[in-house]
Chain A
Protein backbone atom coordinates (compact mmCIF):
# COMPACT_ATOMS: atom_id res chain seq x y z
CA UNK A 1 0.00 0.00 0.00
CA UNK A 2 0.96 3.65 -0.10
CA UNK A 3 2.79 5.13 2.81
CA UNK A 4 4.43 8.28 3.94
CA UNK A 5 7.31 7.58 6.24
CA UNK A 6 9.99 9.45 8.10
CA UNK A 7 13.51 8.18 7.95
CA UNK A 8 14.32 8.59 11.63
CA UNK A 9 12.00 8.21 14.60
CA UNK A 10 14.15 10.50 16.76
CA UNK A 11 16.52 13.39 16.21
CA UNK A 12 18.55 15.20 18.82
CA UNK A 13 20.24 18.53 18.06
CA UNK A 14 22.04 21.24 19.95
CA UNK A 15 20.29 24.55 20.46
CA UNK A 16 21.27 26.93 17.69
CA UNK A 17 22.08 24.20 15.18
CA UNK A 18 20.03 23.58 12.07
CA UNK A 19 17.71 20.56 12.00
CA UNK A 20 16.73 18.48 9.01
CA UNK A 21 13.78 16.11 9.26
CA UNK A 22 13.14 13.76 6.37
CA UNK A 23 10.11 12.07 4.93
CA UNK A 24 9.82 9.55 2.11
CA UNK A 25 6.59 8.97 0.26
CA UNK A 26 5.59 6.30 -2.21
CA UNK A 27 2.59 7.71 -4.08
CA UNK A 28 3.94 9.46 -7.13
CA UNK A 29 0.47 10.94 -7.77
CA UNK A 30 0.56 12.99 -4.55
CA UNK A 31 0.42 16.66 -5.39
CA UNK A 32 0.27 18.40 -2.02
CA UNK A 33 2.51 17.99 1.02
CA UNK A 34 2.33 19.38 4.52
CA UNK A 35 4.50 19.42 7.64
CA UNK A 36 2.95 19.46 11.10
CA UNK A 37 4.41 19.90 14.59
CA UNK A 38 2.84 18.27 17.60
CA UNK A 39 3.89 19.15 21.12
CA UNK A 40 3.15 16.85 24.00
CA UNK A 41 -0.48 17.02 25.07
CA UNK A 42 -1.53 19.21 22.17
CA UNK A 43 -3.05 18.80 18.75
CA UNK A 44 -0.92 19.08 15.61
CA UNK A 45 0.05 22.53 14.37
CA UNK A 46 0.48 23.39 10.71
CA UNK A 47 4.02 24.50 9.86
CA UNK A 48 4.34 24.76 6.11
CA UNK A 49 3.01 23.23 2.91
CA UNK A 50 4.19 22.79 -0.65
CA UNK A 51 2.53 21.81 -3.91
CA UNK A 52 4.09 19.43 -6.36
CA UNK A 53 4.76 22.18 -8.90
CA UNK A 54 7.38 23.61 -6.52
CA UNK A 55 10.58 22.16 -5.12
CA UNK A 56 11.26 24.60 -2.33
CA UNK A 57 9.26 26.84 -0.07
CA UNK A 58 10.43 28.99 2.80
CA UNK A 59 8.70 30.18 5.90
CA UNK A 60 9.89 31.78 9.08
CA UNK A 61 12.98 29.75 10.10
CA UNK A 62 11.64 26.75 8.17
CA UNK A 63 12.20 25.49 4.65
CA UNK A 64 10.49 22.58 2.94
CA UNK A 65 12.22 20.82 0.08
CA UNK A 66 10.46 18.47 -2.31
CA UNK A 67 12.29 16.05 -4.56
CA UNK A 68 9.71 14.34 -6.73
CA UNK A 69 12.30 12.26 -8.54
CA UNK A 70 13.11 10.27 -5.43
CA UNK A 71 9.82 11.01 -3.66
CA UNK A 72 11.46 12.74 -0.74
CA UNK A 73 10.34 15.63 1.43
CA UNK A 74 12.39 17.41 4.05
CA UNK A 75 11.85 20.07 6.67
CA UNK A 76 14.74 22.28 7.61
CA UNK A 77 14.60 24.30 10.81
CA UNK A 78 17.18 27.04 11.16
CA UNK A 79 18.72 27.93 14.51
CA UNK A 80 16.75 25.31 16.38
CA UNK A 81 15.36 26.43 19.72
CA UNK A 82 14.15 24.48 22.76
CA UNK A 83 10.58 25.42 21.81
CA UNK A 84 11.03 23.44 18.61
CA UNK A 85 11.14 20.20 20.58
CA UNK A 86 8.13 18.20 19.40
CA UNK A 87 7.03 15.42 17.09
CA UNK A 88 7.12 16.43 13.43
CA UNK A 89 5.21 14.54 10.78
CA UNK A 90 4.59 14.96 7.12
CA UNK A 91 1.41 14.43 5.19
CA UNK A 92 0.67 13.94 1.52
CA UNK A 93 -2.48 14.41 -0.45
CA UNK A 94 -3.41 12.84 -3.75
CA UNK A 95 -6.06 15.32 -4.84
CA UNK A 96 -7.37 13.26 -7.74
CA UNK A 97 -7.80 10.12 -5.65
CA UNK A 98 -9.05 12.12 -2.67
CA UNK A 99 -6.60 10.44 -0.37
CA UNK A 100 -4.58 11.84 2.52
CA UNK A 101 -1.74 9.90 4.18
CA UNK A 102 0.29 10.84 7.22
CA UNK A 103 3.80 9.86 8.24
CA UNK A 104 4.86 8.22 11.49
CA UNK A 105 6.61 11.22 13.00
CA UNK A 106 10.08 12.20 14.11
CA UNK A 107 10.63 13.28 17.69
CA UNK A 108 12.95 16.28 17.74
CA UNK A 109 14.77 16.99 20.97
CA UNK A 110 16.72 20.23 21.32
CA UNK A 111 19.49 20.19 23.88
CA UNK A 112 20.33 23.51 25.58
Chain B
Protein backbone atom coordinates (compact mmCIF):
# COMPACT_ATOMS: atom_id res chain seq x y z
CA UNK B 1 0.00 0.00 0.00
CA UNK B 2 1.50 3.26 -1.13
CA UNK B 3 -1.24 5.54 0.20
CA UNK B 4 -2.45 6.29 -3.33
CA UNK B 5 -5.58 4.54 -4.56
CA UNK B 6 -7.02 4.45 -8.03
CA UNK B 7 -10.43 3.38 -9.27
CA UNK B 8 -11.42 1.57 -11.28
CA UNK B 9 -8.53 -0.86 -11.61
CA UNK B 10 -9.75 -2.01 -15.01
CA UNK B 11 -11.92 -0.22 -17.54
CA UNK B 12 -13.14 -1.18 -20.98
CA UNK B 13 -14.83 1.55 -22.94
CA UNK B 14 -16.01 2.21 -26.45
CA UNK B 15 -14.78 5.13 -28.48
CA UNK B 16 -17.98 7.06 -27.96
CA UNK B 17 -18.18 6.58 -24.19
CA UNK B 18 -17.39 9.06 -21.46
CA UNK B 19 -15.74 7.78 -18.33
CA UNK B 20 -13.62 9.11 -15.47
CA UNK B 21 -10.63 7.75 -13.63
CA UNK B 22 -10.28 8.61 -9.96
CA UNK B 23 -7.21 8.95 -7.80
CA UNK B 24 -7.04 9.63 -4.09
CA UNK B 25 -3.97 10.11 -1.96
CA UNK B 26 -3.94 9.73 1.82
CA UNK B 27 -0.45 11.10 2.35
CA UNK B 28 -1.11 14.81 2.79
CA UNK B 29 0.86 15.62 -0.36
CA UNK B 30 0.35 18.83 -2.31
CA UNK B 31 1.26 17.67 -5.83
CA UNK B 32 -0.42 15.04 -8.00
CA UNK B 33 0.36 13.61 -11.40
CA UNK B 34 -1.19 11.58 -14.22
CA UNK B 35 1.04 9.28 -16.25
CA UNK B 36 0.40 7.04 -19.22
CA UNK B 37 2.24 3.72 -19.48
CA UNK B 38 1.85 1.91 -22.79
CA UNK B 39 3.22 -1.51 -23.55
CA UNK B 40 6.84 -1.42 -24.68
CA UNK B 41 7.03 2.38 -24.35
CA UNK B 42 8.52 4.61 -21.68
CA UNK B 43 6.36 6.22 -19.05
CA UNK B 44 4.82 9.50 -20.20
CA UNK B 45 4.00 12.36 -17.87
CA UNK B 46 0.61 13.79 -18.83
CA UNK B 47 -0.40 16.34 -16.21
CA UNK B 48 0.98 17.86 -13.04
CA UNK B 49 -1.03 19.61 -10.36
CA UNK B 50 0.56 21.59 -7.58
CA UNK B 51 -1.61 23.07 -4.84
CA UNK B 52 -4.63 22.14 -6.98
CA UNK B 53 -3.42 24.17 -9.95
CA UNK B 54 -2.34 22.57 -13.19
CA UNK B 55 1.30 23.39 -13.71
CA UNK B 56 2.11 21.09 -16.60
CA UNK B 57 0.20 19.75 -19.57
CA UNK B 58 2.43 17.79 -21.88
CA UNK B 59 0.69 18.16 -25.24
CA UNK B 60 -2.01 15.75 -24.20
CA UNK B 61 -5.02 15.53 -26.55
CA UNK B 62 -8.12 17.33 -25.36
CA UNK B 63 -10.02 14.05 -25.13
CA UNK B 64 -8.20 13.71 -21.79
CA UNK B 65 -9.38 16.28 -19.27
CA UNK B 66 -7.93 16.38 -15.75
CA UNK B 67 -9.59 17.79 -12.69
CA UNK B 68 -8.17 18.39 -9.23
CA UNK B 69 -10.96 19.50 -6.87
CA UNK B 70 -8.73 19.38 -3.79
CA UNK B 71 -5.23 18.34 -2.85
CA UNK B 72 -6.11 14.72 -2.21
CA UNK B 73 -8.26 13.95 -5.24
CA UNK B 74 -7.44 13.85 -8.93
CA UNK B 75 -9.65 12.83 -11.82
CA UNK B 76 -9.02 12.11 -15.46
CA UNK B 77 -12.11 12.54 -17.58
CA UNK B 78 -12.12 10.56 -20.80
CA UNK B 79 -14.24 11.08 -23.90
CA UNK B 80 -14.14 9.92 -27.52
CA UNK B 81 -10.95 7.98 -26.97
CA UNK B 82 -9.05 6.08 -29.63
CA UNK B 83 -7.79 2.48 -29.48
CA UNK B 84 -4.21 3.77 -29.18
CA UNK B 85 -5.21 5.34 -25.85
CA UNK B 86 -5.38 1.85 -24.36
CA UNK B 87 -2.74 1.79 -21.63
CA UNK B 88 -2.11 1.75 -17.91
CA UNK B 89 -2.90 5.14 -16.41
CA UNK B 90 -0.97 5.86 -13.27
CA UNK B 91 -1.57 8.49 -10.65
CA UNK B 92 1.13 9.69 -8.30
CA UNK B 93 1.59 12.22 -5.55
CA UNK B 94 4.49 13.95 -3.86
CA UNK B 95 5.21 16.61 -1.30
CA UNK B 96 6.31 19.41 -3.59
CA UNK B 97 5.97 19.28 -7.36
CA UNK B 98 8.48 17.45 -9.52
CA UNK B 99 10.12 15.61 -6.71
CA UNK B 100 11.37 12.20 -7.79
CA UNK B 101 10.07 10.71 -4.56
CA UNK B 102 6.59 10.20 -5.85
CA UNK B 103 4.15 7.64 -4.56
CA UNK B 104 2.29 5.83 -7.30
CA UNK B 105 -1.07 4.18 -7.29
CA UNK B 106 -1.56 0.74 -8.84
CA UNK B 107 -2.96 2.22 -12.03
CA UNK B 108 -6.09 1.81 -14.11
CA UNK B 109 -5.78 -0.61 -17.01
CA UNK B 110 -7.80 1.05 -19.79
CA UNK B 111 -8.89 -0.73 -22.94
CA UNK B 112 -10.57 1.25 -25.69
CA UNK B 113 -12.57 -0.87 -28.12
Q: Which of A's residues lie within 8 Å of B, judged by CB?
A: 4, 32-34, 41-46, 49, 89, 91, 93, 95, 98, 100-105
Contacts and interface: CB of A to CB of B under 8 A. Distances in A.
B88 to A, nearest CB: 9
A32 B100 CA distance: 8
Contacts of A103: 42
B44 interface: yes
Contact of A46 (B44, B56, B102, B106): B102
A43 B69 CA distance: 23
B45 A49 contact: no
Contact of A95 (B42, B44, B98, B104): B98
9 closest A-B pairs by CB: A43-B104, A34-B100, A49-B100, A102-B43, A102-B42, A46-B101, A100-B45, A44-B104, A43-B90
A109 B90 CA distance: 24
B56 A98 contact: yes
Interface in B38-54: 41-45
Contact of B100 (A42, A91, A105): A91
B86 to A, nearest CB: 17
Interface of B: 2, 4, 41-45, 56, 90, 92, 98, 100-107
B104 A45 contact: yes
16 contacts: A4-B42, A32-B98, A33-B100, A42-B104, A43-B2, A44-B43, A44-B92, A45-B2, A46-B100, A46-B102, A93-B100, A95-B98, A98-B56, A100-B98, A101-B42, A103-B42
Nearest to A93: B98
Contacts of B42: 4, 89, 101-105
